[in-house]
């Protein structure tokens, strides 16, 4: 099986737990997730199976969106409700305009400081593991550029602010909560997180682990599986002659005289490559001496 399934992760499970559950349900070994979702968070977690694991990085690079709850007045070491309380402020009050101004600082292209308790690696070790083992002094935190494309307040109720965010890869929503709390001067932490989309996958086209087992048992799972090229539609496409397929798969360079269809732009570097029968993989376009050729970059068939 070389497919992608969009699992709606429940709270309390790690992303690796979900991968293990999918392996067991589908009785297959080659399974991978497309970006860690915190144990306390729930929502969209696309899972790649078989050769589809080759596109996991491409899905990871896509924008993601979340609905989050920020609780003001309590700062934790993990920036979420699972951590130890570092500071608590009881008396504070803000106008909606003051809160909006704090949110304004998190919109657009910003430099974000990731949480110490994160899966980012330092010298091959996850930062959260270093902190838990008393080796936090080995970590030199640096800001990272991220893009907050949308950040909309949904509701404000007492010390709770619910908001929607759409952001680039590498963004920590926990850090948004921490930074807003710091700007307001009362502190804050992330008390709820639901991932609503990851690239083309969303809550509407996802299934739970229980549904995965049910559909697999009753042979209807195909209705909920996605082909590899579903996530590659940002690449234009070419189709090569059936007689050129074997040569291409073995590393050969195919020139445009053996393209049976072509749909790409002059600035395209990579394209989806198809034979007359099926999707083959991602190819790299080579332009030389006024001719265009294609060479395999990633193969998805044997």
Residues with a known catalytic role: 38
Helix (H) or strand (E) holding 224: none
Helix (H) or strand (E) holding 178: helix 173-184
Q: 146 vs 75, 112, 258, 283, CA distance in Å? A: 23, 7, 42, 29
Local structure of 50: helix, strand or coil: helix
Q: What are phi and psi of 64, to 5 degrees?
A: -130, 155
Q: Describe the crossing of helices 209-217 and 15-26 by its angle, rounded to 10 degrees.
A: 10
Q: 300 vs 130, 272, 273, CA distance in Å? A: 37, 11, 10
Helix-, strand-, coil-residue percentages of the chain, each rounded to 5: 25, 40, 35
Cβ atoms 154, 165 nearer than 8 A? no
- Where are the extended beta strands (E) located within 50-159? 64-72, 74-76, 85-88, 108-112, 121-122, 125-126, 144-157
CA gap 54, 14 in Å, rounded:
21
Would you state the structure tokens that stand for residue 279, as one six-digit string? 């999707």
Cβ atoms 198, 59 nearer than 8 A? yes
CA gap 233, 293 in Å, rounded:
20
Would you state the structure tokens that stand for residue 28, as one six-digit string? 């297959």
């Amino acid at each position: 099986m070389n497919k992608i399934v969009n699992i709606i992760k429940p709270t309390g499970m790690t992303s690796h737990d979900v991968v293990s559950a999918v392996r067991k349900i589908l009785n297959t070994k080659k399974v991978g997730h497309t970006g860690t979702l915190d144990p306390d968070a729930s929502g969209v977690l696309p899972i790649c199976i078989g050769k589809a694991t080759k596109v996991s990085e491409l899905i990871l690079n896509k924008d993601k969106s979340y609905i989050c709850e920020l609780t003001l007045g309590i700062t934790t070491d993990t920036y979420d409700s699972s951590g130890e309380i570092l500071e608590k402020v009881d008396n504070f009050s803000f106008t909606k305009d003051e809160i909006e101004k704090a949110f304004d600082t998190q919109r657009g292209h910003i430099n974000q400081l990731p949480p110490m308790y994160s899966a980012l690696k330092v010298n091959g070790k996850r930062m959260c593991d270093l902190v838990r083992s008393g080796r936090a002094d080995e970590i030199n935190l640096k800001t990272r550029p991220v893009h907050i494309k949308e950040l909309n307040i949904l509701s404000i109720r007492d010390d709770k602010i619910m908001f929607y965010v759409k952001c680039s890869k590498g963004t920590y929503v926990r850090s948004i909560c921490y930074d807003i709390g710091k700007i307001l001067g009362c502190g804050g932490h992330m008390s709820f997180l639901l991932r609503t989309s990851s690239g083309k996958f969303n809550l509407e086209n996802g299934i739970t682990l229980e549904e995965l087992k049910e559909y697999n048992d009753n042979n209807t799972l195909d209705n909920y599986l996605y082909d590899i090229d579903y996530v590659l539609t940002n690449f234009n496409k070419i189709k090569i002659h059936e007689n050129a397929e074997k040569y291409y798969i073995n590393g050969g360079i195919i020139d445009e005289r053996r393209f049976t269809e072509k749909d790409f732009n002059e600035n395209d570097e990579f394209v989806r490559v198809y034979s007359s029968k099926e999707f083959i993989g991602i190819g790299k376009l080579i332009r030389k001496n006024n001719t265009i050729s294609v060479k395999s970059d990633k193969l998805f068939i044997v």
